């Protein structure tokens, strides 16, 4: 028993030693299963190496988080290397090699890892070859699970033309996972760039995180020489950094290991570095490695550094949009609750006090009546039955629904720090109509029975939420 305890202690000390050594090298604990020496000397490098012998370069263990690559398109282009995959091979030999490469990568990919593979169809001897789908069948036999196919509109292409085939400016991006549980951060790539103005009136239909991209992505291929002055990328199809950035944000985290077995110009590797990921890239052509180190790596780093302020502004705009959607839902919720309770309105109700609690989606709703006798029977019970059903259940609001009498309103607001409340008239919930001080609230509510602020269908909303969105220029409300 004593020997067993000593063994456990020894193993724990070894584990902790490896852990703190990794921290000392500023490496992600993701790699604790690998030796510190391997990490220090082998990652964040571009190797001149044959992708068919990945097993000779990478250890036989799961270390890759995501692979992003575009393999050679069979016999379409000569990359100027002996023993290259594709050019000069038969189609079946080419597919055999592709299968061998991604079989080795599969074994070295983490359980929650993924593979993104860019490829395209092409014509050969008068017949269209469905390369992306032929590759997919081979990868399926390796264990890869096809999750999605993205259409990448690239705008530019090499001047290939054939009778019976129009000019092609798109390619296929196949997204594979190793298992059914894979990293997928959809909220990380949502935005509000082309969102319609309907979000003001229908906030429940819009995610606070923004709009998810469709399966058609538009990223133009970088022009030759666009990497900076005297930095020329001479490659058949360099992947745009923006496209790579989207994939990395979607299926990886900071500190993860990104792999590209056909690295080419190295745009995948450079983008991974700019986004604080680790990388390993390989290619047979030494010229591409030189291009990567001399031009691509520093140029992409400079591009991302110049975007820091823009990225910060975008993050603030997204936060503002998220807050606005939540606030709009909070104010629309009691309006809809009243409408669904009675299409003819709630005549005896003087107003609705809507208090937003500290938590983002938590509300305290109080329907205010002149006295207890004016409160409809089973009122709160009936309202809760409505609130837990669609459409209100889709608002993501956690609401406490109560009733109170106007003479007791001080008990509801006495403890609150807010000195000013905002009144929303009729069906309008996105723009306050007037402000009411805390001291004047009771008196104002008592006057509401004969006030022009009352609506036949909607009692006025009094809230600590302040919203004033101009429907003619809603983007102004998103300005930082």
281 and 177 inside one domain:
yes
Look at residue 451 in the predicted model and tell me its pLDDT: 57
Contact 329, 395 (CB under 8 A): yes
Rounded CA-CA distance 332/326 in Å is: 10
Are 48 and 117 part of one and the same domain?
yes
Question: Do 21 and 104 reside in the same domain of the chain?
Answer: no
Count of other CB atoms within 10 angstroms of residue 240: 21
**Would the CA dihedral through 283, 285, 288, 293 be positive or negative?**
positive
DSSP state of 376: P
* Percent helix / strand / coil, the chain, rounded to 5: 40, 20, 40
Domain shared by 353 and 408, yes or no: yes
Total domains in the fold of the chain: 3
The verdict on 162 and 299 lying in the same domain is yes
355 touches 364 (CB < 8 A): yes
Residue-level pLDDT at 236: 46
- Mark whether 76 and 146 lie in a shared domain: yes
Residue 312 lies in a domain: no
Predicted local confidence at residue 176, as pLDDT: 98
Specify if 284 maps to a domain.
yes
**Strand residue runs (E) in 56-189:** 64-69, 109-119, 122-124, 127-129, 145-153, 170-177
Query: Given 306, 330, 362, which residue is the final one in a domain?
Result: 306
Residue of 172, 183, 106 whose CA lies nearest to 143: 106
Domain end call among 248, 271, 306: 306
Residue 3 falls inside a structural domain: no
pLDDT of 182 reads 98
What backbone phi and psi angles, to 5 degrees, belong to 452? Answer: -65, -15
The beta strands (E) that lie in 13-81 are given as 45-48, 64-69
- Domain span holding position 332: 320-478
Domain membership flag for residue 314: no
In this structure, the answer to whether residues 17 and 58 fall within a common structural domain is no
- List, in order, residues 6 or more apart from 390 with CB less than 8 Å away: none
In a domain, 445, yes or no: yes
pLDDT (0 to 100) of residue 190: 92
Check which CATH number belongs to the domain holding 114 and give it: 3.40.50.150
In this structure, are 332 and 194 located in the same domain?
no
**Domain identity same for 24 and 67:** no
Q: Do 138 and 85 have their domain in common?
A: yes
Residue 361 lies in a domain: yes
For the beta sheet containing 257-260, the strands, ordered from the edge strand earlier in sequence to the opposite edge, are 45-48, 278-283, 257-260, 64-69, 109-119, 170-177, 145-153, 216-218
Q: Is residue 195 part of a domain?
A: yes
Task: Tell me, yes or no, whether 175 and 201 share the same domain.
Answer: yes
Mean pLDDT by 10 residues, the chain (480 residues): 50 45 40 54 92 92 95 72 74 92 97 96 81 94 97 74 69 96 95 88 93 91 54 59 96 97 95 97 92 93 87 89 95 94 81 85 92 92 94 94 92 86 93 92 74 69 94 86
* Residue 148 and residue 220 share a domain: yes
**Residue 1: inside a domain:** no
């Amino acid at each position: 028993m004593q020997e067993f305890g000593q063994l456990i202690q020894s193993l724990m000390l070894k584990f902790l030693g490896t852990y703190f050594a990794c921290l000392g090298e500023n490496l992600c604990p993701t790699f604790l299963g690998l030796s510190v020496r391997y990490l220090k000397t082998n990652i964040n490098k571009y190797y001149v190496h044959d992708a068919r012998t990945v097993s000779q370069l990478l250890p036989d263990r799961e270390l890759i988080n995501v692979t992003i690559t575009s393999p050679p398109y069979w016999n379409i282009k000569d990359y100027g290397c002996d023993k290259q995959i594709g050019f000069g091979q038969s189609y079946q030999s080419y597919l055999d090699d592709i299968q061998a490469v991604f079989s080795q990568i599969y074994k070295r990919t983490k359980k929650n890892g993924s593979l993104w593979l860019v490829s395209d169809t092409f014509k050969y001897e008068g017949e269209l070859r469905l390369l992306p789908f032929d590759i997919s069948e081979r990868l399926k036999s390796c264990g890869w699970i096809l999750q999605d196919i993205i259409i990448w509109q690239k705008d530019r292409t090499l001047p290939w033309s054939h009778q019976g085939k129009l000019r092609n400016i798109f390619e296929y991006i196949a997204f594979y996972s190793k298992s059914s549980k894979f990293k997928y951060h959809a909220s990380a790539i949502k935005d509000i760039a082309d969102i319609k103005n309907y979000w003001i009136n229908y906030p429940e239909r819009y995610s606070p995180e923004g709009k998810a991209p469709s399966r058609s992505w538009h990223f133009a291929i970088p022009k030759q020489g666009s990497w900076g002055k005297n930095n020329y990328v001479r490659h058949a199809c360099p992947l745009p950094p923006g496209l790579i950035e989207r994939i990395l944000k979607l299926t990886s985290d900071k500190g993860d290991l990104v792999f590209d077995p056909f690295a080419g110009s190295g745009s995948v590797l450079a983008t991974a570095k700019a986004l604080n990921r680790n990388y390993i890239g390989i290619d047979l052509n030494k010229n591409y490695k030189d291009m990567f180190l001399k031009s691509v790596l520093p140029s992409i780093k400079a591009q991302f550094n110049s975007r820091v302020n823009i990225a910060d502004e975008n993050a603030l705009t997204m936060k503002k949009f998220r807050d606005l959607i939540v606030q709009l839902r909070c104010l629309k919720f009691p309006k809809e609750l009243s409408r669904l309770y009675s299409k003819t309105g709630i005549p005896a109700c003087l107003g609705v006090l809507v208090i937003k609690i500290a938590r983002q989606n938590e509300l305290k709703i109080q329907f205010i009546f002149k006295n207890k006798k004016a409160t409809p029977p089973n009122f709160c019970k009936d309202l809760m039955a409505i609130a837990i059903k669609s459409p209100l259940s889709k608002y993501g609001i956690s609401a406490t629904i109560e009733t109170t009498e106007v003479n007791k309103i001080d008990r509801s607001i006495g403890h609150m720090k807010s000195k000013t409340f905002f009144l929303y008239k009729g069906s309008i919930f996105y723009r306050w109509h007037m402000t009411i001080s805390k001291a004047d609230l009771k008196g104002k509510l008592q006057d509401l029975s004969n006030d022009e602020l009352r609506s036949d269908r909607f009692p006025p909303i009094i809230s600590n939420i302040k919203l004033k969105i101009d429907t003619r220029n809603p983007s102004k409300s998103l300005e930082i």
